[in-house]
Structure 1
Amino acid sequence: MKALIISDIHSNIYALEAIRKAEPDCDVIYCAGDLVDYGPFPREVIEWVHKNEVICVRGNHDDIMIDIYRNNNGGHDIEEGQLKWAHHNARLLGEAEISFLESIPDYRIFEMDGCSYTMQHLYDNYLTIDSLPKYDAFWAERNDGTIKAAGERRIIFGHTHRSCIHFLSDTSLWLNPGSVSYRRRDDPSKEAHYFTITDGKIAMKSLVYDRAPLLEAAQKLQLTEDDLKTAYFFFG
């Protein structure tokens, strides 16, 4: 069994397509949330997720998109000079896409190759699980005895955009594949980050891809100055 683990797509279809081309033999794809916002192509990303039968959890930016669509007229009342990524994305989506985002659960539990997994977008804002008692409590709350830990217990998070693996014991770890789309300001990498898990073995990977279409698309939008600067930083 080979699984592709991705997170924080942020409306970046070009990164997704490059990763899929690099990993054509994956049997299953898991995504730890944030399909949309902060990128030009939300509809294409949702179509890609459907086409590839990606197993997702909902992220905080997915919730932002739902809120703008449901409660702020889909971003259509925003003046062009005040346009943020979230407003732009909401304008491109319709009822079917928003209903799909709403249908994505907050967390999932599953087994794969003798390991037990829980997947959720974030733990507590930007905090991480830093002790085994906290890990045990989180695991118990999410699993509720449904999955008995066989072999390793593994929690998958997204949100921080930092690719990492942390061990709390020899058989208790949490992992974050990083973002396929963009880094934090202190990380100069422009590559797409992701994991593969093959027969239980985790591989941390990154991939150079063509960002030019993303920057070109951003330059055509009347985004706020801050959001346009963000686009140059991510895609330039």
Structure 2
Amino acid sequence: MQVGLISDVHANRPALDAVLDAMPDVDAVVHAGDVVGYGPFPSAVIETFREHDIVSIQGNHDRGVLGDFHDNFHEIPKSAAEWTTERLTEDELAYLESLPIERDLYEGAVKVAHGAPGKPNTYTYPEDFSADLLGEESVLVVGHTHVQAKSEFDEGTVVNPGSVGLPRDGDWRAGYAVLDVESGTVDLHRVEYPREETQAKIDEYGLPEVLIDGLEHGELVFGRAKRSVTDSVE
């Protein structure tokens, strides 16, 4: 069984469209959270998730759009979340609310968590990947950092497919991965997309200008140091 892995779409429709077009034939697409937030196309992205039956969990920005801002949620993403809330319908908000915090898939072979298992707002950077993160699953899929990476251990694999909508690893291209569930092998991929379309809409809608630069360079840091797996921040 082949599964496409994506994360952190952040309402970036051109990036999502490019990833789905580039992805090889798969049996399902699984998303590790943050359907919306930051980006200017929240309704279109939710519509695409529904049309393609993308299996998703909630990310912290999805919860922010629903009014649940955890501690240290920075003012820039908070303003983008509030902008998003004003533009979504009740049905679209209900869709986000229906998403679980975590998922166990394919008879327990795959676990999907936004930050870390049991810690949905925690950053798990590549240097934090370890076998200790794994439970009964053979593949753990995380997001949240917007940094594409995978690590293989005797116990299984930890993978972040990278951000579709707003990479933060210095590569502006949209990230995704393809998982073979039976073998547990994961291949990482990047794809170019017309980022200028997203940048133009960010400018038109008056979203934070820093997002335009973030899309340009594949980096977005709000004046804070990188955090470890033990910390819980926005």
TM-score category, normalised to shorter length: 0.7 to 0.9
Structure 1 runs not aligned, ≥5 long: 69-82, 141-148
Q: 1:209 to 1:108 in 2, by over 3 A?
A: same
1:170 aligned onto 2:154: yes
1:191 is aligned to: 173
Shift of 1:91: 1.5
1:228 is aligned to: 209
Structure 2 runs not aligned, ≥5 long: 69-77, 218-234
Q: Which one has a larger percent helix, Structure 1 or Structure 2?
A: 1
Q: In the alignment, is the contact (CA less than 8 A) between 2:42 and 2:88 conserved in 1?
A: yes
What SS does the aligned partner of 1:30 have? strand
Q: In the alignment, is the contact (CA less than 8 A) between 1:219 and 1:228 conserved in 2?
A: yes
What SS does the aligned partner of 2:62 have? helix
What SS does the aligned partner of 2:209 have? helix
Looking at structure 1, the residues matched to 158 and 129 of structure 2 have their Cα atoms a distance apart, in angstroms, of: 10
Shift of 1:16: 1.0
Looking at structure 2, the residues matched to 101 and 182 of structure 1 have their Cα atoms a distance apart, in angstroms, of: 19
**TM-score, normalised via structure 1 length:** 0.78
Q: In the alignment, is the contact (CA less than 8 A) between 1:214 and 1:235 conserved in 2?
A: no
2:17 is aligned to: 17
1:87 is aligned to: 82
Larger Rg: 1
Query: How many pairs does the alignment contain?
Result: 201
Looking at structure 1, the residues matched to 42 and 7 of structure 2 have their Cα atoms a distance apart, in angstroms, of: 14
Q: In the alignment, is the contact (CA less than 8 A) between 1:118 and 1:154 conserved in 2?
A: yes
Looking at structure 1, the residues matched to 154 and 85 of structure 2 have their Cα atoms a distance apart, in angstroms, of: 44
The list of structure 1 runs, each at least 4 consecutive aligned residues, that deviate by more than 6 angstroms after superposition, is: none
1:79 is aligned to: none
**TM-score, normalised via structure 2 length:** 0.78
Which sits farther off after the overlay, 199-208 or 54-63?
A: 199-208
Q: In the alignment, is the contact (CA less than 8 A) between 2:7 and 2:143 conserved in 1?
A: yes
Of 117, 130, 133, 2:110 maps to: 117
